[in-house]
């Protein structure tokens, strides 16, 4: 799941975290006209849920900041699945390009 990490800050509560600006694809994100911040990565998560894993919808919440992406909730399995999908994106420039292009074609606006 690298570069994401899943933590349990309190018993039964989980947070999926990504330090923004630390991925292998930051330059690609910038080349696409976006900032590789926590808000951009929330958009990535939303697009992944909508297009690849609709069963995850509503199973966790988002709380990004400029320097960090965060999704949280009680459903560890859902957060693990999201983390796996996001890790595949955070390490694959072509996947980022395809995801951003498809999101744009669907009218999705990244809030970065």
Reported as a single tens digit per residue, the pLDDT across 20-79 is 999 999 999 999 999 999 999 999 999 999 999 999 999 999 999 999 999 999 999 999
Work out how many domains the chain is built from and give that number. Answer: 1
Are 89 and 11 in contact by the 8 Å Cβ rule? The answer is: no
Domain-embedded: residue 66: yes
Q: Residue 3 above 90 pLDDT?
A: yes
Domain-embedded: residue 112: no
Domain-embedded: residue 33: yes
Interval 13-29: pLDDT, tens: 999 999 999 999 999 99
Whole domain around residue 19: which residue ranges?
5-105
State residue 112's pLDDT score.
86
State residue 49's pLDDT score.
98
Q: Label residue 109 left, alpha or beta by phi (over 0 means left) and psi (-120 to 50 means alpha).
A: beta
């Amino acid at each position: 799941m690298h570069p994401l990490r899943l933590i349990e800050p309190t018993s039964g509560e989980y947070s999926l975290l990504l330090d923004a600006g630390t991925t292998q694809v930051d330059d690609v994100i910038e080349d696409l006209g976006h900032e590789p911040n926590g808000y951009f990565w929330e958009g990535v998560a939303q697009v992944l849920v909508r297009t690849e894993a609709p069963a995850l919808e509503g199973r966790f919440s988002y709380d990004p900041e400029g320097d960090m992406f965060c999704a949280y909730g009680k459903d560890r399995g859902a957060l693990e699945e999201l983390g796996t999908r996001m890790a595949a994106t955070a390490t694959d420039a072509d996947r980022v390009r395809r995801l951003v292009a498809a999101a744009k074609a669907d009218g999705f606006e990244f809030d970065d």
